[in-house]
Amino acid sequence: MKAHDGLYIDGAWRPAAGEGVIEVVNPVDEQVIGRVPAGDAADVDTAVRAARAALPAWAATPPAARAARLAALRDVLAARKDEIAETVTAELGSPLPFSQLVHAGVPIAVAGSYAELAATLPFEEKVGNSVVHQEPVGVVGAITPWNYPLHQIVAKVAPALAAGCTVVLKPAENTPLTAQLFAEAADEAGLPAGVFNLVTGLGPVAGQALAEHPDVDLVSFTGSTAVGKRIGAVAGGAVKRVALELGGKSANVILPSADLAKAVGVGVANVMSNSGQTCSAWTRMLVHTDQYDEAVELAVAAAAKYGERIGPVVSARQQERVRGYIEKGVEEGARLVAGGPESPRDKGWFVSPTVFADVTPEMTIAQEEIFGPVLTILRYEDEEDALRIANGTVYGLAGAVWAGDEAEAVAFARRMDTGQVDINGGRFNPLAPFGGYKQSGVGRELGAHGLAEYLQTKSLQF
């Protein structure tokens, strides 16, 4: 798609207040593929005013009518699926088949799920002598990351619109073309002017202005825990609602009774998918000491298959960050069994699929989120040891448990301090709540739980 040289505010593309520009670069060949405006605080203010002005009419629109607009949005996204996939591939570097299946396919499904929920969710209920109403929170400031550029937008904007909120979106600066494509789709789907607004810009400028704006009622942010803490502090000072989906260091616990080959194979695929740029990736594989050496061999063989299939990471900065963690792993005494810090190609921001063995729980690579194709394999002595290691980070976003007996896996999963656990390779469910314990965040996305984030409660007594 061709980049717009304006911002989408109040139902139209209009010039930004300043002259700043963001260059969009293809991570595969490092070529500039587009330029978008770097909106500033003045642009954010214009967008928030438009959202505020549109709020009363949209909030008063019957849920069935809001559902119809969301269904139209889903249909436009579905009709433009190939263009979405090509755009994500161009600015994120994701291989095209993965872009089609995940980067385009998942958000279309999520948009459809919110069209259905908006039509069926009871926005009021009788409780004794009261009627409890669920009303929209108001104007939502949505700040989204680059790793799943359309999915993260839809996972915030669709439930906000279903709830009757209006939205100002500030997408990641690395992937603004996908956000512009979403704005086109929102326009084509017939959303009223001001209900959805897009301001492209830099995080410390436009993102901060949106988080701090006094007329934004809720800030929904997905990204690093460090930035999430700052947004939480700003929102707390203003007694403003926040939804934060932050980092992860998820454990993939393989119990001795599991099918080891399958658990390791799926585990490696999970980490290498999207070049490791997934907050919920199972980056710590926990294996019983008796099966450890075999698991390492299996992981090395599985990682080798990703050498040519894996895309780059998003930027030169991200490549440096991931390389730095790999070097740190070697420095701290972990055994490098696959990959390493050297770039496998002359051009593009590629990182080799990397596997570390002999990783101990206190090592940096076992504690901090790397956000690249790097797997750490840790050994445990018994189930209590595995649980202690699994729960032994500041994060609690996702995880996995494998066992020969499903009940055994479930019993272990119930004891994990984490928001989502896949049992024996359970499939992604767009209706299941997604979000974390501890420093992985506040609130949930997807399904009815995701919609609830954008509602506030009023009770009338009779």
pLDDT tens readout for residues 287-332? 999 999 999 999 999 999 998 889 999 999 999 999 999 999 999 9
Strand extents, DSSP E, 240-340: 241-245, 251-254, 284-288, 335-338
Closest CA to 436 of 169, 218, 249: 249
Under 8 Å CB-to-CB from 442, ≥6 apart: which residues? 232, 242, 243, 244, 435
What local confidence, expressed as pLDDT, does residue 316 receive?
97
C-alpha to C-alpha distance for 445 and 453, rounded to whole angstroms: 8
Catalytic entry in 279, 369, 408, 453: 279
Answer positive or negative: Cα dihedral of 161, 163, 169, 174. negative
Q: How many CB atoms lie within 10 A of CB 12?
A: 11
Q: By the 8 A CB rule, do 6 and 14 touch?
A: yes
C-alpha to C-alpha distance for 225 and 40, rounded to whole angstroms: 23
Active site residue 279: yes
Position 97, amino acid:
P
Report the half-sphere exposure of 70 (CA within 13 A, side-chain side). 33
The values of phi and psi at residue 429, to 5°, are -125, 110
C-alpha to C-alpha distance for 325 and 20, rounded to whole angstroms: 33
Retrieve residue 10's tokens.
């109040």
Given the structure tokens 């260091």, which residue do they identify? 249
In DSSP terms, 308 is beta-bridged to: none
3-class secondary structure for 199-231? CCCCHHHHHHHHHHCCCCCEEEEECCHHHHHHH
C-alpha to C-alpha distance for 404 and 424, rounded to whole angstroms: 9
Q: By the 8 A CB rule, do 222 and 145 touch?
A: yes
What local confidence, expressed as pLDDT, does residue 307 receive?
85
The DSSP output letter for 100 is I
In DSSP terms, 126 is beta-bridged to: 131
The burial class, CB within 10 Å (0-12 / 13-18 / 19+), for 89 is buried
Q: Domain 7-246+440-461 belongs to what architecture?
A: 3-Layer(aba) Sandwich (3.40)
Distances (CA, A) of 82 to 53, 85, 101, 102: 35, 5, 10, 12
What local confidence, expressed as pLDDT, does residue 2 receive?
83
Retrieve residue 37's tokens.
């405006």
SS3 13: strand
What are the structural domain ranges in the chain? 7-246+440-461, 251-430
Catalytic entry in 91, 184, 212, 245: 245
Q: How many CB atoms lie within 10 A of CB 423?
A: 16
Using alpha carbons only, give the angle 227, 229, 232 rounded to the nearest 5 degrees: 110
Retrieve residue 355's tokens.
């596997």
Q: By the 8 A CB rule, do 408 and 255 touch?
A: yes
C-alpha to C-alpha distance for 398 and 400, rounded to whole angstroms: 7
Residues of the chain with pLDDT under 50: none
Position 162, amino acid:
A
What local confidence, expressed as pLDDT, does residue 1 receive?
73
CATH number of 251-430: 3.40.309.10
Q: By the 8 A CB rule, do 88 and 33 touch?
A: no
Active site residue 165: no
C-alpha to C-alpha distance for 454 and 140, rounded to whole angstroms: 8
What local confidence, expressed as pLDDT, does residue 282 receive?
98
